[in-house]
């Protein structure tokens, strides 16, 4: 199986700043449905997590000399969470990710680099 990282991209703070409790519960139910659908279709979730708000982020700037508060990029979209998924069917994995995308966030799927694939 190939390992993929499923990145959830969007307004990472909206769950806590603009959504009421019922909306958050409904959203989390969709993430549970997403996980169940992955398993049902033969994909294997090997890790992942929701990330805390961007206000808690610390960034080590390129070159390593400066550490700042907040996310690296000054954009409206940030990574709000991720899944590590092993799959033999990228197209079906992408189809499952529509469940998350329907909540209003973007989803990026990227294949992990295996140690033997590194160009050294």
* Helical (H) or strand (E) element with 78: strand 78-87
Q: What are 85-95's pLDDT values in tens digits?
A: 999 999 999 99
Region 2-114: CATH code: 3.30.70.1060
Measured in residues, the chain has a length of: 120
Backbone angles phi, psi at 56, to 5 degrees: -95, -5
Average pLDDT over residues 78-91: 94
pLDDT at 91: 97
Residue-range domain boundaries for the chain = 2-114
Q: What are 8-48's pLDDT values in tens digits?
A: 988 767 666 788 889 889 999 999 999 999 999 999 999 99
Residue ranges of the alpha helices (H) in the chain? 14-17, 21-40, 90-96, 98-101
Round to whole Å and give the CA distance between 109 and 45. Answer: 13
Average pLDDT over residues 89-108: 95
Average pLDDT over the chain reads: 88
């Amino acid at each position: 199986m190939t390992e993929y990282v499923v990145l959830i991209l969007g307004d990472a703070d909206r769950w806590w700043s603009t959504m009421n409790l019922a909306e958050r519960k409904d959203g989390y139910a969709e993430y549970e449905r997403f996980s169940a659908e992955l398993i049902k279709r033969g994909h294997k979730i090997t890790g992942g997590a929701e990330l805390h708000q961007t206000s808690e982020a610390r960034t080590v700037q390129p070159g390593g000399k400066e550490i700042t508060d907040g996310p690296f990029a000054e954009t409206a979209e940030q990574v709000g969470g991720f899944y590590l998924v092993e799959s033999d069917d990228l197209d079906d994995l992408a189809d499952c990710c529509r469940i998350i995308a329907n909540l209003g966030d973007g989803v990026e799927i990227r294949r992990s680099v295996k140690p033997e694939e590194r160009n050294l």
